[in-house]
Structure 1
Amino acid sequence: MIDFRYHLVSIVAIFLALAVGIVLGTTLLQDPAIDLAKRTSDELTNTNNGLRSDLDTLRGREAGNDAFIAAATPEMLAGTLTGQRVLLVETPGSSTAVREAAQQVLTESGAEISGRVTLTEKLLDPKGTGVIDGLVSQLKPANMAFPTTATAWDRTAALLAAALVTNDPAQAGTPNPATTDVVSTFETGGLLSTEGEPVKRATLAVMFAPEKPYEGESADIQAGALVSIAGGLDATGSGAVLAGAAVPAAVPGDPISAVRDDSDIAKRVSTVDTADMPMGRAVIVYSLREQLGGRAGQYGIGKGAASPMPAMPSATPSPTTQTGS
């Protein structure tokens, strides 16, 4: 008869065999697994180092290009906009640094800055359209008429543009007597703020888009409001450019995308999506010059851009004197 001691020894033997098998199995597999993991890690490290090196090289090239363009910009743009007055328009969320850099380049091109208008979130709030419409009806000149399809921001844009810009060089630098209270009333109402003397009308306008597209259920409405204002400035003045930075993809809250998606506005208002780069600031100036010639374009590196910059005009050949034989 098999006693308890025999059973105990058998059970212990079974567990010992299992333990020995596990140890032998892991020992045989350990080295290949570790080697494979090490090789994979080394490959990933080498790839990562290579990508970092490529990124550093690209950053160095970009910094060099930016430095060269920044240094050459005053000479490249000298006299380009001489005799023109430019209005600067900041929007909610736009970059002060981008605006300041563009303002410097515009000054280097010979333009005179008439002043700056900063739009507020209150102006773009869809819930406030009734108040804005009331102000427009109260302040508009008697002879100002709006299309039946005009939105509240279309009407606002037309009224503000009449007070801020003109396409008549003889009226540039002078207030519009028909809209003397428009800007001050909008400012008192918290719809905008001003710096300088923007009521002494400009001939051209540059609007700066928000750094990031607007978000939320009203994002497309807010972007559309800015498009209306840019369109109004273009229609009343000698041209307008909407400038900002490129976004990864066209989204409802991006005003630049909204202009490019509107075939009618895109024929009149130019956009530049590289305003955060030295190249883009020069392109703003060239785009304004193109606007003076009655043309518009979509420039930059983002979705919807036709090219990085406008076509550069060829040098005008010097007149030659012909003598008879």
Structure 2
Amino acid sequence: MIDFRYHLVSLASVLIALAVGIVLGAGPLKEDIGNTLTTQVTQLRGEKDALRADLDAATKVSTARDQFEAELLSRMVAGELASKRVALVVLPGAETTVVDQVSAALKDSGADLAEPIVVNKSWVEGAEDKVAARTEVGNALLEDASLPPVGEDGGQSVDSVLAAALTGKVSASALRDPLTTSARRALFDGLVEADLITDSDAVGKPVDGVVVIAGTVDETGDAGVAQTKSRLALAATVDRTSEGAVLTEDTTKVADQALSPLAVARDQKALSKGLSTVDAPHLAMGQVDVVLALAEQFDGGEGHYGVRADATAALPGLGR
């Protein structure tokens, strides 16, 4: 058994140490500790002020750059798509802000801009009954318009229906007469009735080119990958049917690149042969890229533009 005197000695030692600490803290060490703490606080305040100044300067530069680019945007694209009829195809999840910004850039370019085609989520749903229903609708509409069935590399039948409704053709080099306005209207109406697209006044004249704006894929795993490839297949189909097409997407919103149609298009060239892509459409530079990339498509070229590492260049050549 431990003697009670041991406890008294231990307690006394603790009290003595505490007393010594108090005496030193209030005496000889007080000034040193206070000065050290004051110096550290002053240093931290200085660092905070410096970081704040750096942030303010960076924000000012970024704001000035954005204003500069916005002012130049209309001048850089002016006349690039004059006399060309262009349609926007807006995929599920695309941000309204991006759609508005790209639309404004296309109008600044002189393009005759058709009413946007908004694709509903039902277009890409992967359940077997959904796929079967889309296939049935697409095949019936193609047959009613006396259009050939989808080939092995043609994606979904509804992709070909939308492409034909927009361009009036089954391919960019089609030999047959283009579809009449009423025939194209019937294709649009069939897609609307099947709840695959929202109704729009996009018929008008057939379009020359198409800009496809991709959005967030809300599935993961195999289902998400299938949705991603389905969206890319639609862009590739309208590219084959029109004189040119550009796929654009704000990939900064995508964590998994396997769920980005644009990233997959750049990685798997066989799925996007002939299609141009533009990342960063939320930036003025990206909006310029969309216009110039589409103009390049009309001239027979293609490329992948923007700020990502997999872009072939930041900007399509201006000396076309």
Unmatched segments (≥5 aa) in structure 2? none
- 2:232 alignment partner in structure 1: 227
- The answer as to 2:207 corresponding to 1:208 is no
Distance 1:191 1:62 in 2: 40
- What is residue 265 of structure 2 aligned with on the other side? 259
The answer to whether the Cα contact below 8 Å between 2:236 and 2:273 also exists between their aligned partners in 1 is no
Aligned residue for 2:257, secondary structure, equals coil
User: Deviation of residue 306 (structure 1)?
Assistant: 1.9
How far apart, in 2, do the equivalents of 1:224 and 1:8 lie? 77
Corresponding position of 1:102? 102
SS in 2 for 1:92: coil
Match of 2:148 in 1: 144
Deviations 1:37-69 (A, max 9, x none): 655555454444333333322322222222222
Aligned residues: 307
Deviates more, 1:217-226 or 1:42-51: 42-51
Match of 1:147, as an amino acid? G
Task: Summarize the alignment of residues 37-76 of structure 1 with structure 2, pairs less than 5 Å apart.
Answer: 39=39, 42-76=42-76
What letter corresponds to residue 274 of structure 1 in structure 2?
A
SS in 2 for 1:81: coil
Percentage of identical aligned residues: 23
2:24 matches 1:20? no
- CA distance in 1 between counterparts of 2:9 and 2:108 reads 97
Pick from 130, 133, 139: which aligns with 1:131?
A: 133
1:293 aligns with 2:299: yes
Structure 1 CA distance for aligned equivalents of residues 119 and 131 of structure 2: 15
- Please name the residue that 2:191 is paired with: 186
Q: Evaluate the alpha carbon distance shift between residue 11 and residue 280 of structure 1 in structure 2; reply closer, same or farther with a 3 A threshold.
A: closer
Aligned equivalent of 1:91: 91
| 1:193-219 CA-partner distances (Å, limit 9, x unpaired) | 132223642110011121x45442322
* Helix, strand or coil at the partner of 1:58: helix
* Aligned 8 A contact 1:267 1:297 in 2: no
Alignment-derived partner of residue 164 in structure 1: 166
1:52–1:111 CA distance, 2 compared to 1 (3 A): same
Does the 8 Å contact 2:251/2:260 carry over to 1?
Answer: no
1:246 pairs, out of 226, 237, 251, with 251
RMSD between aligned alpha carbons? 3.4
Query: Quick one: structure 1 residues 129 and 38, their matched pair in 2 at CA, closer, same or farther if it must change by over 3 Å?
Result: farther
The answer as to whether partners of 2:217 and 2:227 remain within 8 angstroms in 1 is: no
Contact 1:242 1:272 in 2 (8 A): yes
> Which residue is equivalent to 2:313?
307
Q: How does 1:106-121 map to 2 (within 5 A)?
A: 106-121=106-121
Deviations 1:83-131 (A, max 9, x none): 1100111111112222122212211211101221101111110011111
Q: Which moved more, 1:61-70 or 1:275-284?
A: 61-70
- Tell me if the contact between 1:172 and 1:202 (Cα under 8 Å) persists in the aligned partners: no
Q: Deviations along 1:133-173, whole A, 9 cap, x unmatched?
A: 1112211144513333554x3x322221111125479x999
- Is residue 163–residue 199 contact of structure 1 (8 Å, CA) maintained in 2? no
Change (3 A) 1:31 1:195: farther
Query: Residues of 2 paired with 1:268 and 1:260: CA distance?
Result: 11
Q: Distance in 2 between matches of 1:301 and 1:191?
A: 33
Give distance in 1, aligned partners of 2:6 and 2:75.
100
The 1-side partners of 2:21 and 2:291 are apart by 76
Please say if residues 102 and 287 of structure 2, whose CA atoms lie closer than 8 Å, have aligned partners that are also in contact: yes
Structure 1 pair 294/44, CA: closer, same or farther in 2 (3 Å)? Answer: farther
